[in-house]
Structure 1
Amino acid sequence: MSKGKDRAQAKRIVQEQLAREKRRKVTLWTSVGVVFVLVMAGLIGWSVAAGQEQDNAGKLTVPPVAVDEGTAFARGSGPVVVDIYEDFMCPICKEVETMTGPTVKQLVDTQKITVRYHPIAILDRYSSTQYSTRSAGAAAAAAQGGKFFEFHEALFAQQPPENSAGLDDAKLVEIGKSVGLDQTFADAVTGKTYTAWATKVTDTASARGVTGTPTFFVAGKKLDSPTPQALTAAVTAAQG
C-alpha cells in the first residue's frame, strides 16, 4: 500500500508540474501576443501619422490670408506696393532686414506703402533639413495665425548659420509660441501643412525673374540696391 501511495503521490506531483508548465506557457504566449498587438498598433499609428505628414507635404494648401495670387503676406495700405522676396536661411536677408526694416515700418505707418513679404526657399542646399522650405512653411502658418510679422522678426533674430541643420520643428514651434501663436500653428508646422505652398511660391518667384534673395520691387520695378535711402527714393519716385 505504501508503494501504491508513493506512486499515486508521484503521479499527482508530475501532473501538477505539467499543469503549472502549461499555465506558464499560456501566460507567456498571451503576454507575447499582447506585446505583438501593441507593437503592431504602434507601427500602424506611426505609419498613419507618417503617411498623413507625407500627404500634407505634397498637398497644396494656400493660406487664406495670403495676397498676390496667394504668394505673399501684406502689411499697410499705402498706394505704392513694395514686394520683398526673402529666404530665412539667407544671411544677407537678415542684414538687409536689420538695415531697412525700420524704414519699411515708417513708410507703412505713414501710409505711403503696402509691403508684401514673399517667404521663398532657394537655399535648402545650405541645410541638411530643408530649413528654407520648413521656415517658409512655418511663416505661412504664422500668417494664418495673425502673427506673420512678429514671427518674421523672431526668425531672423534666431537665424541659424548656413551649412547647418537649421532650426528643428520643435524650435520653430517654440518661437511661434513666444510671439503668441497657438496649437493650430504647431500642428501646421509639424504636419507640414504649407510645405507644398513654400515650393509653389518659390517656383512663382523664379518665374517672375527672382534669382536671389533678398530681392525688392517697388511699384513693379526691381530695386538694385535695397538701402533705406534707395528704398525711400524709389517710393517717392513711384508716388509721382
Structure 2
Amino acid sequence: MSEKNREGKRTARERLAVEREKQKSADKRRRTLIVGATVVGVLGVAAAIGVVAAEAGKDDGGEASGPVVAPSGAQGKDGLAIPVGEESARSTLTVWEDFRCPACKNFEQAYRPVIHELTEAGRLKVDYHLATIIDGNMGGTGSRTAANAAACAQDAGKFTAYHDVLYDNQPREVDDAFARTDKLIELAGKVDGLDTPAFRRCVTEGTHNAWVDKSATAFRTGGFTGTPTVLFGDKNIYADRSMTPAKLKRMVQDENK
C-alpha cells in the first residue's frame, strides 16, 4: 500500500473519531435537556398543589441545641400547636405551614378573611403547626427563624397579627431574607406593641428554635406531603380542588347548627 493511501485512511479514521466524539457530546446535551425539562415540569406540578416536602427535610442550619421551649399557650400533642380562636369552638382547622412557602401565602390570601371571621365569632379554632421544608428544599434558615419569631409573637399575645404580617411581606422563595433577625424585628414594628426588648431577645437568641425543629420533625414523620396541609377533621381540604372560602364557611356553619 502506498504511503499516500495509508495517510488517506489514517485521516479518514481521525475524522470518524472526531465525529463520534461530537455525537457523544450531542447525546449528553440532549439527555441533560430532557432531565432539566422533567425537573421543571415536576416543580410546576408541586407549585400547583403545594410545596412538596424535602426527603431529608432538614435545613442547612441543622438541629438547634438547647432545651425545647414551647411558646406560651401551645397545645396539642407535645405542645406543638399554636391555637387561635375559642377553645369551645365546635370546628377545628389544623394548618401545617411554612412562612417561606409561596403556596402557604396563596392559601392565606384566599382564606384569611373567612378564617378571621369564624375564629372571632367563636365558631372555629385553628391549630397552627410550623414546618421548615423550604429550608430543606432551597437551603437557608429563614423558615425556622421566622417560625421562631412567630412563636415569640405568641409569647407576647400577638401571634395572629404577626403571622399575617409575615405572609404579607414574604420574600421570594429563593430569597432567604427571613433568616435575618433584624428583618423579622423590623416587621414586628407593623404590629402594635410587639417590638419590645423581650421580643427582640427571643428572636435574636432563637428561644424557640428547638421547639420549631421538633415541630418540623413531627411534620416529616406525620405522613404529610407538603405545605400547606389544611385539615378539617381528618380531611385535607387544601387537596380538595372544589374547596373555596365560601364552602369552608358553610362546613363550619353546618357543624355549629
Shared fold (TM-score greater than 0.5)?
yes
Among candidates 204, 217, 220, match of residue 206 of structure 1:
220
Among candidates 122, 126, 132, match of residue 121 of structure 1:
132
Give TM-score, length-normalised by structure 2.
Answer: 0.66
Matched, 1:92 2:103: yes
Paired with 1:129 and 1:205, the residues of 2 have a C-alpha distance of: 18
Instruction: Report the residue type matching 1:229 in the other structure.
Output: A
Residue 123 of structure 1 aligns to a residue in which SS?
helix
Shift of 1:211: 2.0
Does structure 1 retain, via aligned residues, the 8 Å contact 2:142–2:176?
A: yes
Paired with 1:211 and 1:165, the residues of 2 have a C-alpha distance of: 22
Residue 133 of structure 2 aligns to a residue in which SS?
coil
Among candidates 52, 61, 75, match of residue 69 of structure 2:
61
Does structure 2 retain, via aligned residues, the 8 Å contact 1:129–1:166?
A: no
Paired with 1:149 and 1:230, the residues of 2 have a C-alpha distance of: 23
Shift of 1:75: 1.7
Does structure 2 retain, via aligned residues, the 8 Å contact 1:139–1:151?
A: yes
Paired with 1:175 and 1:71, the residues of 2 have a C-alpha distance of: 24
My pick for the range that moved more, 110-119 or 181-190, is 110-119
Mark the structure with the bigger radius of gyration. 1
Aligned to 1:44: none
Aligned to 2:51: none
Among candidates 170, 178, 198, match of residue 182 of structure 2:
170
Residue 69 of structure 2 aligns to a residue in which SS?
coil
Shift of 1:145: 1.0
| Amino-acid identity (%) | 32
Instruction: Spell out structure 1 runs of 4+ moving beyond 4 A.
Output: 54-57, 236-240
Residue 189 of structure 2 aligns to a residue in which SS?
helix
Unaligned runs of 5+ in 2: 1-61
Paired with 2:150 and 2:121, the residues of 1 have a C-alpha distance of: 26
Aligned to 1:185: 199
Matched, 1:81 2:100: no
Shift of 1:200: 0.4
CA distance 1:192–1:92, shift in 2 (3 Å):
same
Paired with 1:177 and 1:57, the residues of 2 have a C-alpha distance of: 29
Instruction: Report the residue type matching 1:74 in the other structure.
Output: P
My pick for the range that moved more, 219-228 or 86-95, is 219-228
Residue 133 of structure 1 aligns to a residue in which SS?
helix
Residue 119 of structure 2 aligns to a residue in which SS?
helix
Shift of 1:74: 1.4
Paired with 2:256 and 2:220, the residues of 1 have a C-alpha distance of: 28
Residue 172 of structure 2 aligns to a residue in which SS?
coil
Shift of 1:129: 3.1
Q: Size of the alignment, in residue pairs? A: 187
Aligned to 1:232: 249
Does structure 2 retain, via aligned residues, the 8 Å contact 1:80–1:114?
A: yes
Residue 83 of structure 1 aligns to a residue in which SS?
strand
Matched, 1:72 2:84: no
